[in-house]
Amino acid sequence: MTPEPTKPYQVIARKYRPQAFDDVLNQEHIKTTLRNAIEQRRIAHGYIFSGQRGTGKTTTARILARCLNCVQGPTDAPCDVCASCLEITAGGSPDVIEIDAASNRGINEMRELRENVRYQPARDRYKIFIVDEAHQITNEAFNALLKTIEEPPEWAVFILCTTESHKIPATIASRCQHFSFRSVDANDLITRMREICVKEGVDADDEALAVIAQSGEGSVRDSLSALDQAIACCGNRLDAASVRTLLGAFGIDAMSQVSTALSAQDGAAMLGLVDELERNGGSPQHFSRELSRYLRNLLVTKIAGKDSRLLAASPAERIEMERIAGGFGEEDLTRYLQFSLDLFRDLQFSLQPRFHLELGLLKMVQAGKMISVEEALASFGKNPQPAAQQAAPVMDRPALDRPPLERPIPTPPVRTFTPTPPPARTGPSPFDADRFKKTGTPATSYSAPAPQAAAPVTPSAAAPANDTEWINRLHTAMTEAGLTFSADAILQANAAVVNGELIITAPKSFQLDLGREEVLNALKKMGLPGQRFKVVFGDTKPVQRAAPVAAVSQKDDETTERALAHPEVQKFRELFGGEVRTVRNLKEQ
């Protein structure tokens, strides 16, 4: 018995190369334009097909060649049976010349091409030059082609295919019609692969096909190659788990460990994940790439919904992603994605990829703890509640539709809003720093003499309670001490106690009158020798104040006290620091 001759195996991408416009996935804008051009007999002499690898450039160029040279043509539906059609499909047509510019990029090859163009087609209507990887052609070689492309013989058509259209010189590009091929839609690709699987007798589940589609990142050829590989590895039954293992893809299950750690703000779990990855021989680069893809998908789900066509995922995965995305806010996911992309970039150059990965993941965990200014402000609007219910401001954000139960653990320390004074700040307040930046006048800070100096001043009976009272009593004390210039100056200043420190803000012109000695003297006279204080000179306008005649009204005091003790004011100062300069009772205006 003679052995059956074995048919040479053809890879799926080639076996199922589209032979007509209808078979080309997506690229509708290109198909329509070319069809119309054929119908109207407006065939250009130069075309540039650009776009991502494996999206149908060479395929479309060949289809166009068949359309133009079919015996029935020019037609947008070539007959498939004439010699031209058959030869072009087989790649053996004498009048369709495919040139690989990657290996024929020099001036000599282009001169040869130029010569070739001059001769009429051997048999067919057009002589079609399909130049693949056209961006590789050298500049001189392009120049040699210029004239030919500008004024070609009537039978010549050039189709330059490239993944990098910006490398085609403008002189050439302006003589051609340019078509950009887009990445192919994942769902359409999945449908196409399902058809191929049926024809090949392969039983593949939805999720497996989604994984394969995703691995190609928009390139049909890459996905079909992955499908080939999967069939070679798993036989006639493709399931998601084995396909993932084969392609090194991480499933939602694996990735959801990251999102769980993020929502739990669990740094230890993150470190555990990296450790496991390392032990299984996984690559940090690959992991971070998959992580970016996962976070991007969560963000898309959050913004566009689980049915978005921007996602390449099976229905079950979509439902799962929706559930996970529900536990995060849009800003959180955006931030995480940004971090993961930075991480991916950094890992490309890292000498310590493991540490980098750990660092990147921990940064993400920490980033989760941040609350935005808007959130902080939004939470002020609410009535103060018992501390236990106030828990994390991150959680009670109705505006950001965060279901609190979905995100159980991000519980920053419970803040109680008892009116305790915030901890004393060291260094100038942000307001002083800002003022300094603008006026160039540093805050003059005087420490009171030891030993009481560092002791925080608790409001005592002796210490004035508000700006007016401070100024009045300082004025009186200065007058009694015979410091008349200082007494005049103090009337035009402001005073406030921030974190136990008395801050006197005065116009620059009083720098000499309100020196350390003068203020210290006055404080001693007031019975407050240990009071910490500083005088800030800036461009402020002098306050127009009359010399004190009477004690401050009891009512003002109370208002200030109440305002400062208000939980929301407390919370604001805790978050942002700063000083409360004046308190106005709006009800009394």
Ligand X SMILES: Nc1ncnc2c1ncn2[C@@H]1O[C@H](COP(=O)(O)OP(=O)(O)OP(=O)(O)O)[C@@H](O)[C@H]1O
Q: Collect all residues with Cβ–Cβ distance below 8 Å to 312 and sequence separation of at least 6.
A: 186, 187, 189, 190, 210, 213, 214
Residue 492 dihedral angles phi and psi, to the nearest 5°:
-105, 20
Q: Which does 85 bind (CB under 5 to 8 A by kind): Zn ion, Mg ion, ligand X, none?
A: Zn ion
**CB of 58 or CB of 148, closer to Mg ion:** 58
Q: Collect all residues with Cβ–Cβ distance below 8 Å to 131 and sequence separation of at least 6.
A: 99, 101, 137, 158, 159, 160, 161
DSSP per residue over 437-462, as a string?
Answer: HHH---EEEEPPPTTGGGSPPP--TT
Choosing from 14, 41, 166, 279, the residue that interacts with ligand X (CB under 6 A) is: 14
| Residue 58 binds to ligand X (criterion: CB under 6 A) | yes
Choosing from 56, 216, 251, 353, the residue that interacts with ligand X (CB under 6 A) is: 56
Choosing from 19, 20, 53, 114, the residue that interacts with ligand X (CB under 6 A) is: 53
Q: Which residues pair with 443 in a beta bridge?
A: 536
| Residue 25 binds to ligand X (criterion: CB under 6 A) | yes
CB of 18 to ligand X, least distance (A): 5
Stretch that binds ligand X, among 57-65, 288-296, 372-380, 443-451 (CB under 6 A): 57-65
Instruction: Give the tokens for residue 126.
Output: 């057009």
Q: Which does 78 bind (CB under 5 to 8 A by kind): ligand X, Zn ion, Mg ion, none?
A: Zn ion
Choosing from 27, 84, 429, 494, the residue that interacts with ligand X (CB under 6 A) is: 27
Q: Collect all residues with Cβ–Cβ distance below 8 Å to 226 and sequence separation of at least 6.
A: 212, 215, 216, 247
Q: Which of residues 348-367 bind ligand X (CB under 6 A)?
A: none
Three-state DSSP at 237 gives: strand
Q: Which does 54 bind (CB under 5 to 8 A by kind): Zn ion, Mg ion, ligand X, none?
A: ligand X
| Residue 16 binds to ligand X (criterion: CB under 6 A) | yes
DSSP per residue over 97-128, as a string?
Answer: EEEETTT--SHHHHHHHHHHHHSPPSSSS-EE
State the number of binding residues for Zn ion (CB under 5 A): 5
| Residue 13 binds to ligand X (criterion: CB under 6 A) | yes
Tell me which residue of 25, 29, 53 sits closest to 163, measured CA to CA: 53
Binding mask 293-322 for ligand X (x = CB under 6 A): ------------------------------
Residue 18's identity, in one-letter code, is P
CB of 316 to ligand X, least distance (A): 26
Binding mask 75-94 for Zn ion (x = CB under 5 A): ---xx--x--x---------
Stretch that binds Mg ion, among 57-65, 197-205, 239-247, 346-354 (CB under 5 A): 57-65
Choosing from 27, 52, 58, 314, the residue that interacts with Mg ion (CB under 5 A) is: 58
Q: Which of residues 181-200 bind ligand X (CB under 6 A)?
A: 184
The answer to whether 257 and 244 have CB atoms below 8 angstroms apart is no
Choosing from 85, 209, 220, 246, the residue that interacts with ligand X (CB under 6 A) is: 220
**CB of 58 or CB of 492, closer to Mg ion:** 58
The answer to whether 274 and 175 have CB atoms below 8 angstroms apart is no
User: For the CA atoms of 265, 312, 216, 18, what is the dihedral angle to 10 degrees?
Assistant: 180
Instruction: Give the tokens for residue 46.
Output: 């130069």
User: For the CA atoms of 249, 255, 256, 258, what is the dihedral angle to 10 degrees?
Assistant: 170
Binding mask 146-165 for ligand X (x = CB under 6 A): ---------------x-x--
Q: Collect all residues with Cβ–Cβ distance below 8 Å to 188 and sequence separation of at least 6.
A: 25, 26
| Residue 70 binds to Zn ion (criterion: CB under 5 A) | yes
Q: How far apart are CA 271 and CA 80, in angstroms?
A: 60
Q: In whole angstroms, what separates CA 588 from the centre of its chain?
A: 49
Instruction: Give the tokens for residue 21.
Output: 């416009």
| Residue 224 binds to ligand X (criterion: CB under 6 A) | yes
Q: How far apart are CA 86 and CA 458, in angstroms?
A: 97
**CB of 65 or CB of 478, closer to Zn ion:** 65
| Residue 47 binds to ligand X (criterion: CB under 6 A) | no
Element (DSSP H or E) covering residue 70: none
| Residue 18 binds to ligand X (criterion: CB under 6 A) | yes
Q: How far apart are CA 162 and CA 135, in angstroms?
A: 6
Q: Which does 53 bind (CB under 5 to 8 A by kind): Mg ion, Zn ion, ligand X, none?
A: ligand X
CB of 172 to Mg ion, least distance (A): 18
CB of 77 to ligand X, least distance (A): 17
Binding mask 116-155 for Mg ion (x = CB under 5 A): ----------------x-----------------------
| Residue 486 binds to Mg ion (criterion: CB under 5 A) | no
CB atoms within 10 A of CB 317: 22
Binding mask 99-138 for ligand X (x = CB under 6 A): ---------------------------------x------
Q: Which does 79 bind (CB under 5 to 8 A by kind): Mg ion, ligand X, Zn ion, none?
A: Zn ion
State the residue for tokens 């419970």.
414
**CB of 103 or CB of 416, closer to Mg ion:** 103
Choosing from 31, 45, 57, 293, the residue that interacts with ligand X (CB under 6 A) is: 57
Choosing from 31, 59, 212, 523, the residue that interacts with ligand X (CB under 6 A) is: 59
Q: Which residues pair with 501 in a beta bridge?
A: 498, 532
Cβ-closest residue to Mg ion?
Answer: 58
Per-position b or e across 388-412, b if 16+ CB within 10 A of its CB: eebbbbbbbbeeeebeeeebeebee
Q: How far apart are CA 209 and CA 315, in angstroms?
A: 12
Say which DSSP state 160 is in.
E
Pairing of strands 46-51, 177-181: parallel
CB of 21 to ligand X, least distance (A): 10
Q: Which residues bind Mg ion (CB under 5 A)?
A: 57-58, 132
Site residues, Zn ion (CB under 5 A)? 70, 78-79, 82, 85
Under the rule (CB under 6 A), what is the footprint of ligand X? 13-14, 16-18, 24-27, 53-59, 132, 161, 163, 184, 220-221, 224
